[in-house]
Amino acid sequence: MRLQGKTIIITGASSGIGKAATRLFAKDGANVVLSARRGELLAKLATEICDAGGQAIAVAGDIRDDDHAASLVEAAESTFGGLDGAFNNAGAVGTMAAVADLDALTWDTVLDTNLKAAFFCAKHQVKAMMERGSGAIVFTGSFVGVTIGLPGMGAYAASKAGLIGLTQVMAAELGRSGIRVNALLPGGTRTEMASSDPGTLDAIASMHALQRIAEPEEIARVAGFLLSDEASFITGASICADGGNSIFKL
């Protein structure tokens, strides 16, 4: 119950890492505010949490919309009385193409979803946390763009590398206010985002020292730790939960 009584926003909660985080955080005692576009999936998950005795509300919307980012904080405050943490996790890969062939629409869509939306979310979250005098924010980065350059993923890599800069600046700005900000860098993880093709999954697995990809719960556990008071002296960090892909080369 390391998140007992904390109110936490989780974006990208309709599937994958965000869905696993929702279940885990609620089990650990958090009140959870869920965001994603697929409202039916969100509502189903919120009902599952409430039926199990937890506290959850679903707020469907597009994370690229600043008003949606604001509405998540408003929901946390009006339903649970404030905000303690945020797992800004929503993300998209977009159409893969070599940089020379990358079109501006793909670039903008990926950067807007992964980086600009994270900024929108954080801006509103920080104001609420400052009222509390404490808080913790975790952005989901990636190994891509930080430890490995994967061909075809220029926009995605740029967005995820950008999150690290945002994390560092926010941590520096907010340390005095008792707010911690960290980036979590997962390795390949078995979600909708990862390929469903077994051959591709095997190829991704082979990039990791552990020779497998992660289950979403393995990444969610690290996010839960970073949002909890157990991580009270960790801020401005980019924490790899990458199965050793950053140190592995055959």
Catalytic amino acids?
156
Task: Check residue 73 for interaction with ligand NAP (CB under 6 A).
Answer: no
Task: Check residue 189 for interaction with ligand NAP (CB under 6 A).
Answer: yes
Between 77 and 217, CB nearer to ligand NAP:
217
Q: How many CB atoms lie within 10 A of CB 124?
A: 22
Candidate segments 24-32, 33-41, 125-133, 225-233, binder of ligand NAP by CB under 6 A: 33-41
HSE-up of 166 (CA within 13 Å, CB side)?
Answer: 24
Task: Check residue 131 for interaction with ligand NAP (CB under 6 A).
Answer: no
Task: Check residue 142 for interaction with ligand NAP (CB under 6 A).
Answer: yes
Helix (H) or strand (E) holding 83: none
Task: Check residue 15 for interaction with ligand NAP (CB under 6 A).
Answer: yes
Using CB under 6 A, which of 64, 124, 180, 208 touches ligand NAP?
Answer: 64
Task: Check residue 106 for interaction with ligand NAP (CB under 6 A).
Answer: no
Task: Check residue 69 for interaction with ligand NAP (CB under 6 A).
Answer: no
Q: How far apart are the C-alpha atoms of 103 and 157, rounded to whole Å?
A: 15
Cα end-to-end distance, the chain, whole Å: 41
Q: How many CB atoms lie within 10 A of CB 111?
A: 18
106, 231, 109, 239: which is closest to 163 by C-alpha?
239
What is the smallest separation between the CB atom of 220 and ligand NAP, expressed in angstroms? 9
- The three-class DSSP label of residue 91 is coil
Residues in contact with ligand NAP by CB under 6 A are: 12-18, 36-38, 62-64, 89-92, 113, 140, 142, 186, 188-189, 191-194
